[in-house]
């Protein structure tokens, strides 16, 4: 059973790493192609291809090792898997965003936020100054980026994964588990 748990946690961390790197790559593409009309298309392709690749990887991994689990992905196990991979991807993404905002493209992001604030608060200069002061106070805090990324990833990841897990049939997984039990019984005879 210990081998199965190690594979489970390794896969959860690997998935979180890949998702965090895919999101970081989409930020780099956003920065490089900031004036391009293809920006949203390229970002969506990066994220969707990452999801597709991770799904293929997990399918191959679990088809080989699923029989070693007593129950194939009960709710608590699925929740632990989701929380682990989502939190890790949020930490990676938040750390990368902190580096982007403060060291690589500080002027670009400041200009973008100031333009947004000017559009929102046209004619009210006091509000713009207050928001700019608040922006300066949190933009230099790495913990802000990491915590906000983790919460955003939890919100964007847990809800769809719970919905998907409630819809997906588990009969295929049960067949794999039952076949392995039948093989074990035949070996004993």
SS3 string of 60-109?
Answer: HHHHHHHHHCCCCCCHHHHHHHHHHHHHHHHHHHHHHHHHHHHHHCHHHH
| pLDDT (0 to 100) of residue 67 | 46
Per-residue pLDDT of the chain (189 residues; tens, 9 = 90+): 444 566 777 777 887 888 788 878 877 877 777 766 666 677 677 767 776 776 676 666 666 655 444 445 556 666 677 777 777 888 888 888 888 877 887 777 777 777 776 776 676 666 656 666 666 666 666 777 777 777 777 776 666 666 666 665 554 444 444 555 555 555 555
| pLDDT (0 to 100) of residue 155 | 72
**What's the predicted TM-score (pTM) here?**
0.56
* Cα dist from 171 to 4, 139, 152, 165, 178, whole Å: 21, 49, 32, 13, 10
Q: What is the CA radius of gyration of the chain?
A: 22
| pLDDT (0 to 100) of residue 139 | 64
């Amino acid at each position: 059973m210990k081998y199965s748990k190690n594979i489970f946690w390794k896969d959860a961390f690997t998935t979180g790493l890949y998702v965090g790197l895919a999101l970081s790559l989409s930020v780099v593409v956003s920065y490089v192609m900031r004036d391009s009309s293809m920006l949203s298309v390229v970002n969506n392709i990066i994220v969707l291809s990452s999801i597709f690749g991770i799904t293929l990887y997990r399918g191959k991994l679990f088809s080989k090792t699923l029989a070693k689990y007593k129950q194939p992905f009960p709710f608590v196990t699925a929740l632990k898997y989701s929380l682990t991979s989502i939190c890790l991807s949020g930490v990676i993404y938040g750390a990368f965003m902190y580096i982007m905002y403060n060291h690589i493209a500080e002027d670009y992001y400041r200009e973008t936020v100031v333009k947004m604030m000017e559009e929102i608060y046209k004619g009210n200069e006091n509000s713009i100054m207050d928001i700019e002061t608040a922006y300066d106070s949190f933009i230099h805090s790495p913990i802000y980026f990491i915590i906000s990324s983790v919460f955003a990833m939890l919100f964007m990841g847990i809800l769809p994964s719970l919905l998907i897990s409630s819809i997906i049939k588990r009969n295929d997984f049960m067949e794999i588990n039952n076949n392995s039990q039948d093989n074990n019984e035949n070996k004993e005879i």
